[in-house]
Amino acid sequence: MYDLLKGLRVVEGAAFVAAPTCGLYLAQMGAEVIRFDAIGGGPDFRRWPLAENGSSLYWEGLNKGKKSVALDLASPAGREIAQRLATAPGSDAGLFVTNFPVDGFLAYETLRRLRDDLICVRVMGWADGAQGMDYTINAALGLPQMTGPADDPRPVNHVLAAWDLLTGAYCAFGLVSALLARMRDGRGREIRAPLSDIAAATMANLGFTAETLAAGHQRPRIGNDVFGAFGRDFMTRDGQTLMLLAITPRQWSKALEALGLTAEVAAVEAELGVSFATDEGLRFTHRARLYPLFERAFAQRTAAELGAAFDAGGVTWGAYQSLEAALEDPRLYKGNPLFQEVRHPSGLSYPAPGAMATVPQDRRSDVRPAPRLGQHTDEVLADVLGMSAGEIARLHDDGVVAS
Amino acid sequence: MYDLLKGLRVVEGAAFVAAPTCGLYLAQMGAEVIRFDAIGGGPDFRRWPLAENGSSLYWEGLNKGKKSVALDLASPAGREIAQRLATAPGSDAGLFVTNFPVDGFLAYETLRRLRDDLICVRVMGWADGAQGMDYTINAALGLPQMTGPADDPRPVNHVLAAWDLLTGAYCAFGLVSALLARMRDGRGREIRAPLSDIAAATMANLGFTAETLAAGHQRPRIGNDVFGAFGRDFMTRDGQTLMLLAITPRQWSKALEALGLTAEVAAVEAELGVSFATDEGLRFTHRARLYPLFERAFAQRTAAELGAAFDAGGVTWGAYQSLEAALEDPRLYKGNPLFQEVRHPSGLSYPAPGAMATVPQDRRSDVRPAPRLGQHTDEVLADVLGMSAGEIARLHDDGVVAS
C-alpha cells in the first residue's frame, strides 16, 4: 500500500479478473475503492480455489483493500444506488470501473445523465459486446497452437489468464490517464477495454501479426525454445530442469563460459562460417546443432553445481520449481517485503501482497484484506450518498441493501 | 492514438518488452515519448521476428509513435546526454522509463541530483537486481508444470511473455500515478517494478499461493480444463476444436440448451444428488462424468452448426483458430478501427494498432509508426536540451550522437 492516489474515490462494479485487478491496483496505490456487490455475492464470489469453509481464496485475493456495499442489483432501487455511487460528486470521484454490459443499467450514457464528467473504465469481452472471456479469446489468436511440445499437436491453453491481467493493468493506466485529461479539460470519458482488442493489439505490438502476414502462416510450434534467440529447458545430471536464456552477446558468452562450451561452440562457428556472439538469431537458426552440446554439458553437472557456476558467471537462467518451492524462495516469497501475514474474510491468515511495485522513497503501509460482503454498506451510504440512519434502515428492511 | 496525456514528455531508455510497452501505451495515449537508443541499436534492435531486409518487426511494433535519439551510450558524453534528457525541466516532464540497472549511470540517486522531483519507472528482473527475464522467472513459479496436457509431465513455457506485458502496463499506471502524486506533493519517486515481484504478487492475487499453502502442493496439471468451473476444448464432427466455457449459471444453462444436453445432465444431477446449475465447482468436481456427454454432443455436429447454435443461444465459446485466420476475422483484425495500414521503418506497410482501449467520446487519431534509429536526434537535442546547431554538429563529429 502506497498513497500515490490518496484522495481518489473509485467505485467498482465488477467480477472475474480484469476489472477487479484494476480496482486492486488502484486501491493498493492509495485510492479509496468501493465495490458494490450483489447481496450474497456476484458471479465470481464462489470461484475456486476455495478455503475449506467454502470461501473463495480467489475473490479475497482480488479484492484486497477495497470496501464492499451489498446491493440487490436485480431491483430498481438497488440499481439506482449503484448508479448514484458510480456518479457521486467530488473532484477526485466520478471514477467507475466495471465489466457490466455496455448497454445495461450501467451504460455510460445513462450514468452520464447523473454526472457529466464521469470517467468509466469498462472491461469487455469482444469489442462488439459479445460474450468473451480470456480462454475463448485466447483460442482465437493462434497461441494455443504455438504453445507446448513440438511433437504434440494438441492446442495448449495458458493457465495464467494473461489477457485478463494485461487488461486490468491497462485499465488502471487508462483510468488515471483519463483523470489527468479531465483535470485539464473537465470532460468525462468512457474507456472501453475489450479483451479482444487488447489481445489483437498486443499480438501486433510484439510482431506476431507482421510475421504472420509476411510468412503467410503463424509461427510454428517450437516447444520451450525461445524464438529467435538461444533459450530452452535443459536437464541436469540429477534430473532437475533448468531454463537457460541468452539473447544479448553478454548473456551468450557468459553461458558458454559457465558451461565450459566456449571452445566447442567456436568450432561449430568455424565449421558453419557464422558468429553466434553478436547475432542471437543465428543461435536460433542453428539450435539443432547447438542443443546437443548444451544437453551434454547440463547432463554432466548437478543443478547445484550449475546454479553456483551460473550465478558466479552472471548467466541468465532459472530453475523450474513448484509453487510450494517458490513459497520458500526468498527471491519470491519468503521475507519479501511486499507480503504481510493478513487475516482474510475466509478466516484464514496467510501472507498477501500489497502494491506490486516498490517506491524506495515512500513507506509501504500495511496490506489490507478484502472486505466481507457488505462490510461497508452503512458507512458508504452515509458518507458517499449522505443517507440518514433512517433511510439506510429502511433500505435494509426492504432488502435493497445488506451488510 | 488519443490525447489524454497530451503535453507530457516521457523519456525512455529501454529494451525488450516490459519497459518499451510502458512507453508505447503512454505514447498512444498522447504523451511525447523520446527514446534514447544506442547508436546502431540496443540489445533488442535485431530481435526476431525480422523482415526480409533484417529489420526487426518486434522492435518496430513496440516503439510505435515514439521519437528516437541515437547516443553512444558507452561514452561519458553520451551517457551525460541520456541523463540530461531523463531529467530535463518542465512540469509535465521529468518522467523516465527504463530497464537499465538500478545502480548504473541511470541510478535514481544519480539522476535525482539533476532533477529532484524526477519520476523514474524502472523495470527489473529479480527484485534484488539479479538478471531475470520473463522465461526464467516464469519457470520459478510452478506455472510451466501446471500447463499442458495432463498426460505429459514436461514443463510448458508460455509463448506470450505475460509477465513482461503485465509489468509494462502496470508501469504505465505507476508512472501516471506518481505524476498525480507529484502534482499534489511536489516529490519525485522511483517506481521499481521487478518482474519477480509482479509475478509473485499476481500468483497471490489470483489465489494460487493461498491454494498451495492450504493444500501443501500446487494445483495439479489439468490440461485445458478450466479450473473450478466447466470449460475445455472439444472436437466437432468435422475435426474443429472449440473452447466451451460455463462459469455463471446462465453460461451453463445456455450451453446445455444449445447442445441439447439439458435432460441428460439433469439425469446425472439426479443420480449424483447435486445441482450443477448454481455451483460451477461441482461441474469441475464431476467433470469426468460430464465430459463424455459433451464430447458426444460435439462429435455429432459440425463446427458451423455448433457455432450458429452457440451464438444464437448466447453461449460463451470460441473456435481455436490460427493467427492467419484471426487476421481475416472481423472481430479481431479485419476492419478493426484500432488498426491502420502504416509504413514502418522496415520499409513494409502493414496494419498496426493504436491505443488498445477505445474512448467513444474522442476521435482516434492516426497510428504513428516507430522511428528510424536517431530520427529525432537533432530535433530533441535542440528542443529539449536547448543545444545550438554548432554543439549538435560537434557531437555528431565526435561520434557521441547519430541520426
B209-215 mean pLDDT: 97
Give me the percent of chain B exceeding a pLDDT of 70. 100
Cβ contact A224:B362 at 8 Å: no
pLDDT at A151: 96
B366-392 mean pLDDT: 98
Interface test with B, best of A10, A320, A336 (most B CBs within 10 A): A320
pLDDT by residue (tens digit) across A263-313?
999 999 999 999 999 899 999 999 999 999 999 999 999 999 999 999 999
Cβ contact B7:B26 at 8 Å: no
User: Which bin fits A40, alpha (ψ -120 to 50), beta or left (φ > 0)?
Assistant: left
A93-100 mean pLDDT: 98
Give me the percent of chain B exceeding a pLDDT of 90. 100
How far is residue A330's CA from residue A326's CA, in Å, rounded to a whole number? 8
CB-nearest partner of A281 from B48, B157, B188: B48
List own/partner pairs for A259-262 with CB under 8 A and 24 or more apart: A259/A294, A259/A297, A259/A298, A259/A306, A259/A309, A260/A297, A261/A293, A261/A294, A261/A297
Q: How many CB atoms sit inside 10 A of residue B177's CB? A: 31
Q: How far is A155 from chain B (nearest CA, A)?
A: 8
- All residues of chain B having their beta carbon less than 8 Å from the beta carbon of residue A5 are 177, 180-181
Cβ contact B183:B117 at 8 Å: no
**CB of A109 less than 8 A from some CB of B:** no
Q: How far is A396 from chain B (nearest CA, A)?
A: 25
Q: In this structure, what C-alpha cell is assigned to residue B211? A: 491454494
pLDDT reading at B1 higher than 90: no
B123-151 mean pLDDT: 96
Residue among B61, B75, B72, B66 at smallest CA distance from B16: B61
pLDDT by residue (tens digit) across B365-375?
999 999 999 99
pLDDT by residue (tens digit) across A14-48?
999 999 999 999 999 999 999 999 999 999 999 99
B283-303 mean pLDDT: 98
Cβ contact B60:B369 at 8 Å: yes
Q: Give bridge partners of residue B341 from the DSSP assignment.
A: B351
Q: Catalytic site residue A117?
A: no
pLDDT by residue (tens digit) across A76-91?
999 999 999 999 999 9
How far is residue B10's CA from residue B25's CA, in Å, rounded to a whole number? 11
Cβ contact A151:B229 at 8 Å: no
How far is residue B383's CA from residue B389's CA, in Å, rounded to a whole number? 11
Length of chain A in terms of residues written? 403
pLDDT by residue (tens digit) across A311-341?
999 999 999 999 999 999 999 999 999 999 9
CB-nearest partner of A207 from B25, B58, B137: B58
A185-206 mean pLDDT: 98
| Interface predicted TM-score of the whole assembly (ipTM), two decimals | 0.98
A374-383 mean pLDDT: 98
Is A140's CB within 8 Å of B213's CB?
A: no
Give me the percent of chain A exceeding a pLDDT of 90. 100
Burial class of residue A53, CB neighbours in 10 A (0-12, 13-18, 19+): exposed
- All residues of chain A having their beta carbon less than 8 Å from the beta carbon of residue B219 are 49, 323
SS3 A367: coil
The structure's pTM equals 0.98
Give me the percent of chain A exceeding a pLDDT of 70. 100
Q: Give bridge partners of residue B230 from the DSSP assignment.
A: B246
Q: What is the mean pLDDT of chain B?
A: 97
SS3 B37: strand
pLDDT by residue (tens digit) across B232-291?
999 999 999 999 999 999 999 999 999 999 999 999 999 999 999 989 999 999 999 999
Residue A345's pLDDT band (boundaries 50, 70, 90)? very high
How far is residue A394's CA from residue A365's CA, in Å, rounded to a whole number? 37
pLDDT by residue (tens digit) across A250-263?
999 999 999 999 99
Which of B 362-401 lie inside 8 A of A, CB atoms? 362
Nearest-CA residue of chain B relative to A137? B318
**CB of A216 less than 8 A from some CB of B:** yes
pLDDT at A339: 98
How far is residue B95's CA from residue B85's CA, in Å, rounded to a whole number? 10
How far is residue B336's CA from residue A301's CA, in Å, rounded to a whole number? 52
Where would I find the beta strands (DSSP E) of B214-367? Answer: 230-235, 241-246, 316-319, 339-343, 349-353
Residue B157's pLDDT band (boundaries 50, 70, 90)? very high
How far is residue A79's CA from residue B94's CA, in Å, rounded to a whole number? 44
Cβ contact B147:B219 at 8 Å: no
SS3 A340: strand
Interface test with A, best of B117, B131, B322 (most A CBs within 10 A): B131
Burial class of residue A264, CB neighbours in 10 A (0-12, 13-18, 19+): middle
**CB of A53 less than 8 A from some CB of B:** no
How far is residue A74's CA from residue A80's CA, in Å, rounded to a whole number? 10
pLDDT reading at A371 higher than 90: yes
B128-142 mean pLDDT: 96
Q: What is the mean pLDDT of chain A?
A: 97
